[in-house]
Amino acid sequence: MFVDWSMKFCFCSLPFSQPAKSGSVSGTRGSSLSLVHKPRPSVPMRFCSTLPLALCALSALSLLVSFFVRARGPRRAPAPAPAPAPAPAALEAPPSRRYESSPSPSSIPSSWHDDVSLVTVNDVSSSWHFNATLAESIRKDVLRFLDPERDMFLLQREVKPGVRIPYILNRGHFATVTRTVHSLLPSAPLLHGRRFATCALVGNSGILRGSHCGSEIDRHDYIVRCNMAPVTPFKRDVGIRTDFLTMNPSILPRYYGGLRNATLRDRFVARLRALGKGIFWIPAFMVPPERRWVDAVTDLIAHEHLSLHPAMPSLRLMHAVRGYWLSNHVDIKRPTTGLLMYTLFTRFCRQIHLYGFWPFHSDTEGRPVPYHYYEVMSYSYYSRSSPHAMPLEFQALHRLHELGALRMRTQACT
């Protein structure tokens, strides 16, 4: 009420101009123009105009303070963040697990950095049963984001020699499709219409050492191996057959000396010849630094006239796969090759069996586990700079194992 009266007092006290005489208004250079009659101020207005100037100033100050208080409003506690949507049944962790859903890399407590006791490993043959309904549901769910039969392969008709395409993980830089690369691309999807009863997806963790899983792996209908891991010296544990082989271009300088001499080139070619007519899958357009190795490999394949089928992923594949897992509350940064292959082969395989997936430095008995089964190499699974979130991926895949959608081997095969 005080503020309302203050407003009246203030506006009433403003200096009003004297009204023009009836029937006229001031014009330019003393001329007058008859427009409209303006009545004299009412009694209340004349009364207000006689109020002291101090009262007007006081009223204006009161109005200003009141306006400021109203505009600022009372202090309120920040609204609580909305509760996250519940995870789908396929990935929802049981109440007994410490984490109800996959934590983000920044939220993983240091106490879990290599604490395998939080993972109940359960892959004994008698306790695992295939859940065909769930596996089919996952296959259909993946199809909402991508079609692996189509998106797994970049086809010749989709690009032309000389065209510049953006790198998948560095959109500000471009790669030129060479004639050699274009000539190696398939003209049609290489797995079109193919379906398999069981598939083995073989990772490279040191958990495979001494596993004696080689013969079991080789009995599967289709076998996928990651990043050109060697097999012959370790065939008792990892098997020897390969139908689909991926290559990370960074392994070329690391394990094959950048093909700088004939001996290294011959060793690399021998590894490729062992693939026979299998598929050799090269993520060719990921980041600019790898391009030189991609060109070296494609030139070598073309020169040696190998019988294998070179292939490269479509430009949308990586983001589509990541989108699928994010939609299931698995907060990955970039999918590993293993997770990528599992997602893709849900399209082709009725059952998928995983081997060599273990992102921990020790097994459930506390024995040390090397990063790779074929070498001694240190790796920080929880590095902030790593592009992958392996423990989070493992948690999601192991949960699917518990539900029967896939089988994950983390112990010795019998």
Question: What distances in angstroms separate CA 159 from CA 149, 152, 173, 209, 275, one per listed residue?
Answer: 18, 15, 17, 43, 27
Least Cα distance to 205 among 385, 397, 406, 348 occurs for 397
Q: Is 113 a catalytic residue?
A: no
Q: How far is Cα 341 from Cα 330, in angstroms, rounded to an integer?
A: 16
User: Do residues 321 and 327 touch, judged by C-beta distance below 8 A?
Assistant: no
Catalytic residue among 353, 372, 388, 401: 388
The sign of the dihedral angle between the CA atoms of 229, 352, 120, 385 is: positive
Instruction: Return the ∠ at Cα 378 (arms to 373 and 381), rounded to 5°.
Output: 95
Question: What distances in angstroms separate CA 61 from CA 13, 248, 316, one per listed residue?
Answer: 14, 72, 63
User: Do residues 49 and 12 touch, judged by C-beta distance below 8 A?
Assistant: yes
Q: What is the CA 262 to chain-centroid distance, rounded?
A: 40
Which residues are the active-site residues?
388
